[in-house]
Amino acid sequence: MSKSGNKKKFLLVGLAGLVVGFSLMILLNSFYVKSSSNEACMMCHYHPDSDASWKQSVHYNNGSGVKTDCVECHLPPKGSFAYFKAKAATGMKDVWSYLTKKQEDIDWDSKGELEYATKIVYNESCKECHINLFPEGITDDGVTAHLYYEENEEKLDLQCISCHLDAGHYNPNYQHGQMTGLPGAVAEAAEVYTESTPVTEFKNYTETIPGTSASIRMVAVPGGSFTMGSPEDEPFRRSDESPQRNVTVSPFFMGELEVTWDQYWAFYGETMSEGRISPEEVYANNSREDVDAISGPTPPFGFPDQGWGMGERPAITMTHYAAETFCQWLSKKTGKKYRLPTEAEWEYAARGGTSTPYFFEGNPKKFTNEGFWNGLFGADTAVINRYVVYVNNSKNRTQEPAKIQANPFGLKNMLGNVMEYCSDWYAEDAYTQLQDGAVDPQGPASGEEHVVRGGLYNEDASEVRCAARAHTEHDAWLKTDPQNPKSIWWYSDIKGIGFRVVCEVPEGVAAQ
C-alpha cells in the first residue's frame, strides 16, 4: 500500500476514534447528569418520606426560590475526585440495598438521627453554598453560634447539621432554638398531690410529689455483700473493672425506672430559671431550707426528648449537676433523703443477686455484634432482647419501660436504654484504691468526671454488662453549645444519658 493510502487509513481510523470518543463522552456525560438528578436518586434510595420532607424544608421551600438537590448535600462539592469517588460508592451501596433489602424492614426513623446524618452529609458541601455565615437578617443568637462555629470548627470537629439537622428534610419534632414554657402534653396537669407518701416499713412504695401530679415507683433493695467488678475471664472486660472487691451495701430504696420526663418536667416547671445562674449562686441558694430557693434549669435548646416521646421514657441530656439538683428538690418536697446512687449501690442493684456478666443467663460473645461469625450470621438476641434496650432492638432511640422485663430486684432498664449517673467521681484505678470488704464505699474523694453506668440504647451487648464502667465526657458533651458560659443544666451532644434516684431508709424504719 502506498504512503498516501496509509495516511488516509490512519486519518479514517483517527476520525472514527474521535467520533467514538465524543459519542462516549456524550453518553457518559448524559449518564452523569441523569444519574445526579433527584429522580435517579429516588429510583434506588426510596425513603418513603424523603421527597415530601425535602419539599417542606428550607432547601426547597424558601423565600429566595433556590432549590437544593440531593447530590448537593449528600456528595462532596462537584468537580472534585472526592465527588466521583463518593458518587460511585453511594450508588453501588444504594443499588445493593435496593436489590437485597425490603423497604418495610428498613428503620427509616433512625436515618434521620444526627449520628447517621453525619455519615451521609458533607460539611464542605454546606460551606460551598453558604459562603457568608452572617447574612442580612441573622439574629444575635445566630451570630453568636456562627462565630463559635468558625472559631472551633476544626478543633471540635463541628458540622453544620449538628445545629441544622432539618435544613434538608423537614422534621416537625426537631427544633434549634430555646424551648419556651412546658411541653403541651405535660402542661395539662392531672391530679395534684398534696402530700408525700409516708414510709413506715421497708417495702416498695410509690412516692407522690406534693404540689405536682408526678409520682415515682420506688423498690426496696435489701442490703448485702457482692463481688464488685469483673473476673479476668469475662469477655470484653476492661482494666478499670478490676481488681474485683468484696463490697457490702446497706439497704436502700431505688427508682424502679430511670427518672421519666413526667417527673423531670414537674421539677423543671417548679424551679426553671430564665436567667443564667452560676453554680456557686445555685449552691448558695440551695443551702436554704425553703424549697422555693432551689433554682432549676434554664430552658433547653430544641426538644430535649429528640421527638422520641415523653411520658415514661427516661428524661435525657441533663447534666450531672442538674440530676443532683433534681434529687435535692425531691428531698425537700418529700421530707426524705433522695440522691444519686453510689457506684457500688448501682452495680449491686443491677446484678440483682447474680454474679454473671448480665443479671440473666448468657455469654457476651454470643450477644455481641463483634467478630466475624456474629457479623456474618447475626448475634443471638432471643434472651437479651427481653431485658435490655440496646443497639439491636432500640431503633436508635430510648424506649418505654413496657418494652423489657425487670431484673431479680424488680428494677427495669438497669442495662441499656440510657447511661445513668452515679454520685462517685471516676478513676480508672478506683478498685485498686478500694479496700476489700468495704462497707458502703463512695469512690474517690475528687476527680474531673463522674461515673456513668448501664450503657445506652445504641451500644453493643459488650458495653451493657453489669460490671462495665464509663464516665461523663463533660467538654465533649457540650461541643456544639455556643453559649458563654456553657450551660450547667443541659448537654448539647449526648442523648443517651439520664439517672435514677435512691432514697435512704428513713430513721425508725427497720430494713431487712
Checking DSSP bridges between strand 245-249 and strand 438-439, what pairing results, if any?
Answer: parallel
Distance (Å, rounded) from C-alpha 59 to C-alpha 168?
Answer: 6
432 CB neighbour count, 10 Å cutoff: 11
Nine cell digits for residue 56: 417542606
Q: Helices (DSSP H) in 112-156: which residue ranges?
A: 114-120, 123-129, 140-156
Residue type, 28: L
In eight-state DSSP terms, residue 424 is: E
Predicted TM-score of the model (pTM): 0.87
Q: How far is CA 29 from CA 33, 82, 243, 332, in A?
A: 6, 18, 65, 72
Q: Is 89 exposed, middle or buried (0-12, 13-18, 19+ CB in 10 A)?
A: exposed
Query: How far out from the chain centre does Cα 306 lie?
Result: 9
Nine cell digits for residue 141: 443568637
State the pLDDT at residue 288. Answer: 42
**Secondary structure class of 398 (helix, strand, coil):** coil
Residue 246 sits at φ, ψ, to 5 deg, of: -85, 120
Helix (H) or strand (E) holding 452: strand 450-453
Distance (Å, rounded) from C-alpha 20 to C-alpha 181?
Answer: 68
Residue type, 395: K
Residue type, 235: P
Closest CA to 70 of 29, 115, 125, 132: 125
State the pLDDT at residue 374. Answer: 84
Closest CA to 320 of 397, 252, 419: 419
Contact 244, 434 (CB under 8 A): no
In eight-state DSSP terms, residue 190 is: -
The tens-digit pLDDT sequence of the chain (512 residues) is 566 667 677 777 777 777 777 777 776 656 656 667 877 777 766 677 788 888 899 998 888 888 898 888 998 998 788 888 888 888 788 778 778 877 777 777 777 888 888 888 999 999 888 989 888 888 888 888 898 888 888 887 888 888 888 888 988 878 777 787 777 666 555 789 999 999 999 999 999 999 999 999 999 999 999 999 999 999 999 999 999 999 999 999 999 999 999 999 999 989 987 655 555 555 555 544 556 667 888 888 888 888 899 999 999 999 999 999 999 999 999 999 999 999 999 999 999 999 999 999 999 999 999 988 888 778 999 999 999 999 999 999 999 999 999 999 999 999 999 999 999 999 999 999 999 999 999 999 999 999 999 999 999 999 999 999 999 999 999 998 888 889 999 999 999 999 999 999 999 998 86
Distance (Å, rounded) from C-alpha 51 to C-alpha 68?
Answer: 12
State the pLDDT at residue 184. Answer: 65
Q: How far is CA 81 from CA 35, 86, 87, 235, 465, in A?
A: 17, 9, 10, 43, 44
Distance (Å, rounded) from C-alpha 415 to C-alpha 466?
Answer: 7
Say which residues have a Cβ less than 8 Å from residue 144's Cβ, sequence separation at least 6: 482, 483, 484
State the pLDDT at residue 9. Answer: 73
DSSP 208-238: E-TTSS-EEEEEEE--EEEEES--TTSTT--
**Secondary structure class of 36 (helix, strand, coil):** coil
369 CB neighbour count, 10 Å cutoff: 15
Q: Model confidence over 395-435: pLDDT tens digits?
A: 999 999 999 999 999 999 999 999 999 999 999 999 999 99
State the pLDDT at residue 136. Answer: 87
Radius of gyration of the chain (CA): 28
Question: What angle in degrees, to the nearest 10, is found between the helix axes of 320-334 and 261-271?
Answer: 80
In eight-state DSSP terms, residue 328 is: H
Nine cell digits for residue 37: 438528578
Query: How far out from the chain centre does Cα 362 lie?
Result: 26
State the pLDDT at residue 4. Answer: 64
Residue 451 sits at φ, ψ, to 5 deg, of: -70, 135
Distance (Å, rounded) from C-alpha 260 to C-alpha 214?
Answer: 10
Closest CA to 160 of 67, 86, 58, 60: 58
